[in-house]
Structures are given as structure tokens and as C-alpha cells.
């Protein structure tokens, strides 16, 4: 893809157009409308060529949706697990009615060889998100990466710096930033319709903490079925056990996952989008005990509550009645949204009268689709920053990871958002990064 909206041709596009011209000269009497980009078809030279890295549960869901985009063509899938590679290839081949989709087990080989690919989906386990994003952007790919986008603040910073240095489009998969009910609640807060927001709530679910032990060793499967060392990636080595890779069991272990950030990667970004963060320099975290709701205070006086629902993650609470909810409270009322709502929750039915207008104003102001994946591909074409770009990811993840560090140290902390460091706490600052196991490093 061209890096701007000019008519400058990349080498790949020039060669493709040259091939089309040669074909037209040889067969002048029939040119399919789809080859000209007419009707529902998109000319091959205008398609966004993509690949998928990490084709597990979430990855296969994302990929299946991306395959519905008329201007996108997937040509390769990559996963350390053979079964997932095969399933991903089957999905792509069935979509296009051929057997052309290539498979890779090692993303480093995939990125080095596939110079034809414009953009990649990254939906690996969380331990690989930041490193895979950095490697992909260095290889000239635009990136749609699932959340949580990093395990540490240092990893998040590396993603931001790489996107800037290499001029790549990066979108993290905080998809509710593009969903109508959530956009409505966010815009009700952002536009002042609720008055100055004094309290905001973000759903961080109930995690029961993270494990620090190891599962017992089991015989490793053949390398072509699962490359265990590659699967571990930058995390500390441990012996193979099927309980890690099967069914997402890894997400219960500290070396592979996060606590607050597991769900806060969704909802903290949603809350921040509705608040005026321009003058916020620091945030105070009040530790109230293991796995308790955490109250934080922004330097502009807004109280941000990282709320944990006791019991089932879908159990109704006083702030929302679904998962991944956010709520904004102001002197003129409150607005909230969560998954599977038929309409946003509001303090007064009168606030919903402007529902369509609020969304229309948002799309007119931002020129964005209310479709997170489409926003990414639109930005691949335009080279603008997506709604959940690197800075959005970095700030929201820093708040989540700071809360995780509070939980780990079991004490209240103050975090400087501008410097991305804790105030007067060297032990907490050391936890902003984790060692990455060679050769899986930036």
C-alpha cells in the first residue's frame, strides 16, 4: 500500500498493473467488471493483502470477520500450533474457493518471506502481542493487535515508538470504542451532556489473582505439531504441559498474562475516551485489599473506579448488567453501556432522545466507521491514526498495569502519567518491565 493518498505507485502495485495491462492487450474483448474495481468487486491492485498471526479462538473470530471485507484478501496464516494453522487455512481457502492460503509456524519466517503483505492480524497469546507487533511493524506491516496489547509498560512504549519510527498504522482490538452503545455513553460524557464528570467506572471483572507456580512436565509433542520454545516466546522457560496451551490455560499464570489489564484493556480505554485527559498529570491508586474494587483519583479531581463484580462475570451489578461495561456520572445524570445491551443505560429516558444525533455527530466529526475492523482498514488506506491507536493503547494499558503493580505490592501508589513512572517508589518502577527471554527480544 502507498503511504499516502497520492498516485505514487509502489513496486508491487506497478508490477500488478503492468500484468493487468499485458493481459488486456492479449485479450482485448473481455475485461471482468471486478478487475476494474466496479460493482461489488475490488481490483486486485487495490486490495489490502493481509495475513493472520495467532489463529486460536479470538484469532479465528477476528479473521472470519476480516474475510468479509470486500477490499481485503488474506493470503497466509501463522501459528505455532499445527492444528490452528490448518484450521485457519481451511477457513481462508473456503472463503476464496481455492487452496492458496500459505501456512507458517514461525512468525519470524512469515514476516521475512511475505513482503507482499500490507497488514497483519495479531491474536496470539498476550505474551507475544507487543513483540509480534514490533517485529511486524519493522517488517513494514500495519498491525491490528488484540488486547491486552502488552504485558509491561516497557513493551507498550516499544510499540508506540516503533509505530512512530516506521510510520505504521496500529490498532489495538478495543472494539467497543467503535460500537454504537459504547460510543453513545462516551460521547455523552465527552460533550458535556452529563455536566462535568466527577466519577467514572470501568469493569475489570473478577480474576482470583494470577498463579506463580509451574505445572508438572509432560513429554513435548513433535515440533511440527507445536514448537514449545517458540510458543513460550519472550516468557521465562518452563517445561511443557498441555494445560498451558489447551483452552487458554496460560491466562491464569503471571508469566503469560495480566490481572487488571486482562479486562481493563477494554474498559479503561472506553472510560478515558469520555474524559478530558489533556490536563491530567498523575493518578493515585488506593489499594484496599486483594482483588478488591480499586478506587483511583485523577489529578483533575475525577474519581475512576476499577470495579470488580463478585461472582459470575455476567452477574448484574449496580453500574451495568453485562460484561466490559463503563459508566460516567455527572451533575446532569449518568450514562453506561456494556455488552448485549438493547440500548445504553441512562439516568433519565430523556437522555436517549438524542441517541441518533449523538452518533451522527460523532461520525461527522471523526469520519470514522462504527466498525472497529473497518476503521483499521480505512486507516491502512488513508494513513491516519485509528480510534485505538498506539497512544490510546499505551495510556490505558499503563493505568491497568499500574493497578496490577499495586495489587502485586499490596500498597497504594501514585503514577505520573506524563513520565510513565511511579512517584517515589523504586520497587514499583522496577516492575514496569520484565526480562524477555533471548532470542525473543526487541
Look at residue 50 and give its three-state secondary structure: strand
CA dihedral angle for residue 101, residue 105, residue 109, residue 112, rounded to 10 degrees: 40
Cβ within 8 Å of residue 314, ≥6 positions away: 322, 323
Tell me the pLDDT band of 340, cut-offs 50, 70 and 90: confident
Q: Are residues 141 and 198 in the same domain?
A: no
Q: Are residues 263 and 374 in the same domain?
A: yes
Q: Are residues 197 and 319 in the same domain?
A: yes
What mean pLDDT do residues 136-153 have?
Answer: 98
Among 404, 380, 332, CA closest to 168? 380
- Which of 26-40, 108-122, 130-144 is predicted with the least confidence, judged by mean pLDDT? 26-40
Residue 323 has pLDDT above 90, yes or no: no
Residue 197 has pLDDT above 70, yes or no: yes
Q: Which of 124, 152, 175 is the last residue of a domain?
A: 175
Look at residue 210 and give its three-state secondary structure: coil
What mean pLDDT do residues 272-296 have?
Answer: 92
Q: What's the pTM? A: 0.89
Cβ within 8 Å of residue 123, ≥6 positions away: 52, 53, 54, 55, 56, 58, 59, 62, 63, 145, 146, 173
Residue 37 has pLDDT above 90, yes or no: no
Q: What are phi and psi of 160, to 5 degrees?
A: -60, -50
Hey, what's the cell of 308?
470488580
Q: Are residues 166 and 193 in the same domain?
A: no
What mean pLDDT do residues 63-89 have?
Answer: 97
pLDDT value at residue 33: 35
Query: What digits encode the pLDDT tens for the residues 240-270?
Result: 999 999 878 999 999 999 988 888 999 999 9
Residue 422, domain extent: 176-209+258-430
Q: Are residues 80 and 138 in the same domain?
A: yes
Rg (CA), the chain: 23
Hey, what's the cell of 59?
484469532
Give the C-alpha separation, 409 to 387, whole Å. 33
CATH number for the domain spanning 161: value is: 3.40.50.720
pLDDT value at residue 9: 46
pLDDT value at residue 321: 81
Q: Are residues 126 and 184 in the same domain?
A: no
pLDDT value at residue 17: 46
Residue 63 burial by Cβ neighbours in a 10 Å radius (0-12, 13-18, 19+): buried
pLDDT value at residue 138: 98
Q: Which of 150, 175, 200 is the last residue of a domain?
A: 175
- Which of 7-16, 110-119, 133-142, 314-323 is predicted with the least confidence, judged by mean pLDDT? 7-16
What mean pLDDT do residues 380-396 have?
Answer: 98
What mean pLDDT do residues 11-23 have?
Answer: 44
Residue 27 has pLDDT above 50, yes or no: no
Based on the structure, what is the number of domains in the chain?
A: 2
Hey, what's the cell of 419?
513520565
Amino acid at each position: 500500500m502507498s503511504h499516502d493518498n497520492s498516485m505514487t505507485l509502489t513496486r508491487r502495485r506497478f508490477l500488478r498493473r503492468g500484468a493487468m495491462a499485458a493481459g488486456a492487450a492479449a485479450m482485448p474483448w473481455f475485461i471482468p467488471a471486478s478487475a476494474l474495481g466496479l460493482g461489488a468487486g475490488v481490483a486486485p491492485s487495490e486490495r489490502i493483502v493481509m495475513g493472520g498471526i495467532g489463529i486460536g479462538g479470538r484469532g479465528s473470530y477476528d479473521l472470519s470477520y476480516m474475510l468479509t471485507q470486500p477490499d481485503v484478501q488474506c493470503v497466509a496464516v501463522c501459528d505455532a500450533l499445527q492444528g490452528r494453522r490448518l484450521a485457519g487455512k481451511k477457513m481462508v481457502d473456503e472463503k476464496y474457493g481455492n487452496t492458496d492460503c500459505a501456512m507458517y509456524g514461525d512468525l519470524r519466517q512469515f514476516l521475512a518471506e511475505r513482503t507482499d503483505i500490507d497488514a497483519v492480524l495479531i491474536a496470539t497469546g498476550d505474551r507475544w502481542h507487543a513483540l509480534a507487533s514490533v517485529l511486524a511493524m519493522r517488517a513494514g506491516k500495519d498491525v491490528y493487535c488484540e488486547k491486552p496489547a502488552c504485558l509491561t509498560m516497557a513493551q507498550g512504549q516499544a510499540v508506540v515508538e516503533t509505530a512512530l519510527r516506521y510510520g505504521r498504522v496500529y490498532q489495538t482490538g478495543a472494539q467497543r470504542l467503535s460500537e454504537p452503545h459504547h460510543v453513545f455513553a462516551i460521547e455523552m460524557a465527552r460533550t458535556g451532556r452529563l455536566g462535568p464528570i466527577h466519577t467514572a467506572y470501568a469493569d475489570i471483572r473478577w480474576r482470583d489473582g494470577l498463579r506463580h507456580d509451574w505445572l508438572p512436565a509432560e513429554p513435548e509433542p513433535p515440533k511440527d505439531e507445536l514448537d514449545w520454545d517458540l510458543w513460550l516466546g519472550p516468557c521465562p522457560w518452563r517445561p511443557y504441559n498441555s494445560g498451558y496451551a489447551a483452552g487458554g490455560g496460560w491466562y491464569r499464570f503471571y508469566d503469560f498474562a495480566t490481572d487488571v489489564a486482562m479486562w481493563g484493556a477494554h474498559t479503561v480505554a472506553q472510560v478515558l475516551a469520555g474524559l478530558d485527559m489533556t490536563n491530567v498529570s498523575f493518578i493515585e491508586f488506593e489499594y484496599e485489599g486483594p482483588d478488591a474494587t480499586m478506587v483511583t483519583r485523577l489529578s483533575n479531581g475525577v474519581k475512576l473506579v476499577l470495579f470488580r463484580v463478585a461472582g459470575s462475570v455476567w452477574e448484574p451489578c449496580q453500574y451495568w448488567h453485562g460484561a466490559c461495561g463503563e459508566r460516567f456520572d455527572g451533575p446532569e445524570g449518568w450514562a453506561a453501556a456494556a455488552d448485549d445491551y438493547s440500548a445504553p443505560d441512562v439516568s433519565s429516558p430523556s437522555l436517549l432522545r438524542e441517541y441518533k444525533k449523538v452518533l451522527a455527530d460523532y461520525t461527522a466529526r471523526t469520519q470514522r466507521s462504527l466498525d472497529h475492523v473497518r476503521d483499521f482498514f480505512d486507516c491502512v488506506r488513508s494513513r491516519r491514526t485509528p480510534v485505538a491507536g498506539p497512544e490510546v493503547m499505551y495510556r490505558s494499558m499503563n493505568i491497568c498495569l499500574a493497578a496490577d503493580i499495586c495489587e502485586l505490592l499490596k500498597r497504594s501508589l501514585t503514577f505520573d502519567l506524563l513520565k510513565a513512572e511511579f512517584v517515589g517508589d523504586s520497587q514499583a518502577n522496577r516492575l514496569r518491565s520484565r526480562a524477555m527471554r533471548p532470542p525473543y527480544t526487541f
